[in-house]
Structure 1
């Protein structure tokens, strides 16, 4: 009897992944920013799909950075560094022209000179970045070594001293404004490639909707 019961018993559906907070986003998932006017137009009420997930590693910590794309070509980067307020970091990768339009390049070049204590002010308030830009930035980090991994290492430690899997080494420079909520972040990689991000910390509920791809 027990054999026939098990044979004809209704199969229970397999558990599916849940997605309730932004730091659970994975590749191909979809999310929408809310309608806060603190967000630039490229983000406000716009839908994005996660196209990749990287890991930013420093000596004592590491965190995920998701790369997402909406209807425009410009990518949006959302990171989850550890902080008491559990804020997310939202970033845009700036072109050289955008850096030049926002900041004086001679002053910007001093970021890379010792002792690394630059005071940087935007050249204009006429930009499309909404509240991403601070009125003034003070340099915080100078030539900090880190690694960028093209894999998601949430919940595990990135590989150490593994020539096949180690990330791209970089030097990290950063400036902060608006009580640490606005940042200019610079990554200089071993081959000379340089990424300049305009970043700001925002409440996680700025991401208003989340969907698992295919559901």
Structure 2
């Protein structure tokens, strides 16, 4: 009889996963930006789905990079480096045309010259990303070594020193402006591929809604 009872008993519903903050996002989860004028038009009111989660590793810290994509081709990058206010770093990947439109290329080339004391002033404020651009940037990082992992290591330590799976090594350069909350970040990988990001630190509440994928 106990066997029959267990056979026909209703299955207990599995607990529904809830999201309390953006740092808990998983693959296929959805998040929506608010309509704050502090956000560039490329982000405002945008609904995105998480398509990838990577890990950026430096000597003294590592943190995840969440990649979200909406209905178009625009990707938005969220990362969670240590900072006292627990602000989220929102980033957009710049094309070469973006870089040339925003900065004097002779000044930009100084970023890669030792000892790394470049200063950049944007050439224009008439740009789609104008709301996240500082008036001036001062270089902070020069040839800092890091590792890029196409895996989520938020709850564990990346295998930096194992030969088989140490991640993709890169040189990191960064410039900072706008009360230390706006950045130009450059990653040069082993194969010569170069990524340039425009980034800024914003509060968690810029993300208006979070939905966990069932």
Deviation at 1:5, TM superposition (A): 6.0
Q: Is the 8 A contact 1:135 1:178 kept in 2?
A: yes
Deviation at 1:10, TM superposition (A): 4.0
Unaligned ranges ≥5, structure 1: none
Deviation at 1:12, TM superposition (A): 2.4
Residue 27 of structure 2 corresponds to residue 27 of structure 1: yes
Deviation at 1:82, TM superposition (A): 1.4
Deviation at 1:14, TM superposition (A): 2.1
Q: Is the 8 A contact 2:35 2:44 kept in 1?
A: yes
Distance of 1:2 and 1:75 partners within structure 2: 55
Task: State the match for 1:114 in structure 2.
Answer: 114
Residue 123 of structure 2 corresponds to residue 123 of structure 1: yes
Q: Is the 8 A contact 2:19 2:212 kept in 1?
A: yes
Which residues in structure 2 correspond to 1:58-207 (within 5 Å)?
A: 58-207=58-207
Distance of 2:68 and 2:156 partners within structure 1: 23
Q: Deviations over 1:74-108 (max 9, x none)?
A: 21111111111010000011011100000000000
Distance of 1:23 and 1:116 partners within structure 2: 32
Distance of 1:130 and 1:98 partners within structure 2: 11
Question: TM-score, normalised to structure 1's length?
Answer: 0.94
SS at match of 1:32: strand
Q: Deviations over 1:119-156 (max 9, x none)?
A: 11000111111421000001001110000000000111
Structure 1 residues 168 and 7, CA, compared in 2 at 3 Å: closer, same or farther?
same
Q: Is the 8 A contact 1:36 1:206 kept in 2?
A: yes
Deviation at 1:161, TM superposition (A): 2.1
Unaligned ranges ≥5, structure 2: none
Query: RMSD of the TM alignment (CA)?
Result: 1.5
Question: TM-score, normalised to structure 2's length?
Answer: 0.95
Q: Is the 8 A contact 1:39 1:130 kept in 2?
A: no
